[in-house]
A and B are shown apart, each in its own frame.
Chain A
Amino acid sequence: MNARSQTFELTVEGWQIEEVVLSLFHTLLFHRTTGKFQYKQEGTYSIGTVGMVEQDCDYTDFSYIRCESAELDAYLRKEVSGFRDILKSNDGLHSGQISLEFYEKKKNRWPFPDESIPWEVWNLNINVVTLTNEHERQAYREKLGELLGERVVCIVEAMNRHDYLPKAPNQPLLDTVFNTTFTDVQPYLFKISCQNSGPTNASVGTAVKKLVRDTLAL
């Protein structure tokens, strides 16, 4: 199955990396998260409620909505701060790509490992710049807010095309579609990966990487 993918490119200052990535990834995950499935009897279940938090950015004139889930937020922050550290630690490297990939698992027979099949990939190319003065910084703070707003509209448009979404499975297979590790919400299975080199075609790149990794695992 071919995963659909979309790439955004943004230019930011060093201290804006984290909140810019978080604002877009949280917006994506807000759309791709359901309430927790609570199974009662055979075949019946109830779906929990997704709360929301309105988050203001510190270094950008922008606010976004995220799921009210401290666990999900912490997980995301950890991944994104790793990406930020990579960008900051490498001298001369002022760009990188971070990807949010939604996937589903296909269980294979022993001894073969489960197969991860991506169905939606969002790539974010980040270019880091240093502005010369506070005036520029203030102007770009506002400009970046507008740019993020445009990206959110792009995300919303994509979400409402009603493309393929994995179907909710039966209870035994729930973790092949949803991430069931969070106690309060239930996002679709996702993973975050980052590259500190130039941007590549993520869907192909990750597929090749996966092929190599799976081969080595054997």
Chain B
Amino acid sequence: MMGRAMDGQQPSHGITEKEERDLRKFTKFLALKAIQVIVQSRTGEKTNTRSKSNTDGTDWFNLAIPEKATVKSHAKKLLMTDIPRAGYPLNVEITLETAEGDKMVLESWSLAVNDTVDPNTKVHYTVYNRMGLLLKSLICVSRVTPAYRIARRQGTGDYRILSRVFFGETKLSLLGEDFSSVQVGSVPTPVGTVILNVAYRTKLTISTSRHISRVRAPVPLKEDHYSTSPSHKGPGPGLPVGTKPSIGIEDSNTTLDSSQDYIVGSFSTSPPDNYAFPSRGDQATPSPVRGRGASEDRLTKPPSSSTPGGFDLPGRLGPFASPKNVAGSESLISDDIPFGSLLQEVGGSMADKFIVTGNEDQPSAQEGADQPDWTGLDLSQHSNKSSLPSDSDDFVMVDLNPAFAKQDTSSDLVAFCCQFQQAPPLELFDHQPTLGETLSKLPERLAQFKENESEFDAFVASLQRDVDEYSD
């Protein structure tokens, strides 16, 4: 058995101690390179390396396999103490994670060793070359399984691919029913046969309660449309590659419950998605990988209208719209009056609603969850008075998409356009006297008009004279 043979100091199976040591080294580097090949093939990026006729001897197996530093460091750490041996395979698990946090294991690569020995195989020539051939086969096969196509289509922000590397039993049950498996290749050695297998999922559909509820929604709303809090950022360019704490390689048999044991194979290149899911509100810090528990919570809990800002509420309100039939509110103006809701706004907060203001009072956290955050168009006062009765929910929100601007409502260009598309604030509304002030000033104004009475009479008389002249 390879593990015993390699751990022991005495030569066994008819090979020298040096051969045994070298075989262990070859196996270790085979594992290191295999991890690199698999993980990199799922980043969605194409591989391109140069052939070199003159080599400096640094390319193992005479193959130019690019190395990602993060993957390398964790793989090395994992293989520092152990290498694949009989009953103790090395696994690379490829998982798809949706933007909502649902996970699905797509494939599981396994580098294992069995007890079948080939005592006549030369370690320094045959085994080394065959390991190189095995790596070439791995490179080719990694481009034909379904996960490859999925990985190449990353970048829309809908999902991303995660990789996990661990020693231990291969969890084929995670691949669902009717999974397929392919033996990539095998390398017989004097102490055991190294075997590389891949098992991959064939049923690639996720069905969750979320999708059902989304179908029920009368208007399809993009879940991240109402971006509010930067703490809910999803995968996007705002998440620099390599700076996320989601990379981890475990040296023990772990489960999916840990969100820290994945190598993030790729980040989406879509604009930053600011999630406004209240179910994630308990996440204090941004994390590109959410735990399964949170995901399941969202799956199992049906969306409720009591949930502030629930993304799949059938009657979600658009901007400028107030809740229909607000309980406990009284209509100030009869519904029979045409455009009554507009008149309500005059009596209420219409002036505030369209005034472009500076940094005024921000809505509270609760209101922030209920109302969209209009960057650049501060509607904070409107938010504060949103409980006023109104039938204005027939407003339709139209996205503002300025030319040459990014699809991001928080960009400067969008803010600029928003500001200059609105009417300028009237000074009249800056200071409106109260009724008491108006009444107190009334006698003074009347006295002033009395004093100027002769001027007014003269003006009227002049007008009268003009009319008489024209009539003549």
Which A residues lie at the B interface, using CB under 8 A?
27, 30-31, 34-36, 38, 46-54, 56, 61-65, 67-69, 148-149, 152-153, 155-157, 159-160, 162, 183-185
Q: Which of A36, A63, A68 touches B143 (beta carbons < 8 Å)?
A: A63
Q: Which of A31, A157, A183 touches B133 (beta carbons < 8 Å)?
A: A31
B141–A156 CB distance below 8 A: yes
Task: Give the number of residues in B that approach A within 8 Å (Cβ atoms).
Answer: 35
Instruction: Give the nearest-CB partner of B118 in chain A.
Output: A162
A48–B139 CB distance below 8 A: no
B53–A36 CB distance below 8 A: yes
Which B residues lie at the A interface, using CB under 8 A?
46-55, 57, 59, 62-64, 130, 133-134, 136-137, 139-141, 143-145, 148-149, 152, 182-186, 188
Instruction: Report the Cα distance A153→B146, complex, angstroms.
Output: 13
Contact status of A160 and B49, CB under 8 A, knowing A48-B55, A52-B64, A152-B140: no
Main secondary structure of the interface of B (DSSP, over half): mixed
Apart from A35-B52, A47-B62, A149-B144, list 9 A-B contacts with CB within 8 A: A31-B133, A51-B50, A63-B46, A65-B139, A65-B143, A69-B51, A156-B141, A156-B185, A185-B51
A53–B133 CB distance below 8 A: no
Give the interface centre of A49, A62, A65 by most chain B CB atoms within 10 Å: A49
B185–A159 CB distance below 8 A: yes
CB neighbours (8 Å) of A53 from chain B are 47-49
A153–B54 CB distance below 8 A: no
Contact status of A49 and B143, CB under 8 A, knowing A35-B55, A61-B149, A68-B51: no
Task: Give 13 A-B contacts (CB < 8 Å), ordered by A residue.
Answer: A48-B53, A49-B51, A49-B52, A49-B63, A51-B50, A62-B144, A65-B143, A152-B141, A153-B144, A153-B182, A156-B137, A160-B137, A160-B185
Distance to closest chain B CB from A85 (angstroms): 28
CB neighbours (8 Å) of A153 from chain B are 141, 144, 182
Instruction: Give the nearest-CB partner of B139 in chain A.
Output: A65
B50–A68 CB distance below 8 A: yes
Distance to closest chain B CB from A210 (angstroms): 29
Distance to closest chain B CB from A122 (angstroms): 14
CB neighbours (8 Å) of A51 from chain B are 48-52, 64
Instruction: Report the Cα distance A174→B104, complex, angstroms.
Output: 50
A68–B53 CB distance below 8 A: no
Distance to closest chain A CB from B67 (angstroms): 13
CB neighbours (8 Å) of B54 from chain A are 36, 38, 46, 48
Instruction: Report the Cα distance A183→B54, complex, angstroms.
Output: 10
Q: Which of A38, A67, A162 touches B53 (beta carbons < 8 Å)?
A: A38
A160–B184 CB distance below 8 A: yes
Contact status of A47 and B64, CB under 8 A, knowing A54-B47, A65-B139, A160-B134: no
CB neighbours (8 Å) of B55 from chain A are 35, 38, 46-49
Distance to closest chain A CB from B66 (angstroms): 9
Contact status of A49 and B140, CB under 8 A, knowing A61-B149, A162-B130: no
CB neighbours (8 Å) of B137 from chain A are 31, 156, 159-160
Distance to closest chain A CB from B128 (angstroms): 10
Instruction: Give the nearest-CB partner of B58 in chain A.
Output: A49
CB neighbours (8 Å) of B185 from chain A are 156, 159-160
A46–B47 CB distance below 8 A: no
A155–B140 CB distance below 8 A: yes
Instruction: Report the Cα distance A36→B54, complex, angstroms.
Output: 8
A48–B52 CB distance below 8 A: yes
Instruction: Give the nearest-CB partner of A62 in chain B.
Output: B144
CB neighbours (8 Å) of A152 from chain B are 140-141, 143-144
CB neighbours (8 Å) of A50 from chain B are 51, 62-64
Contact status of A35 and B53, CB under 8 A, knowing A27-B140, A49-B62, A156-B140: yes
Distance to closest chain B CB from A147 (angstroms): 11
CB neighbours (8 Å) of A35 from chain B are 51-53, 55, 62
CB neighbours (8 Å) of A65 from chain B are 47, 139-140, 143
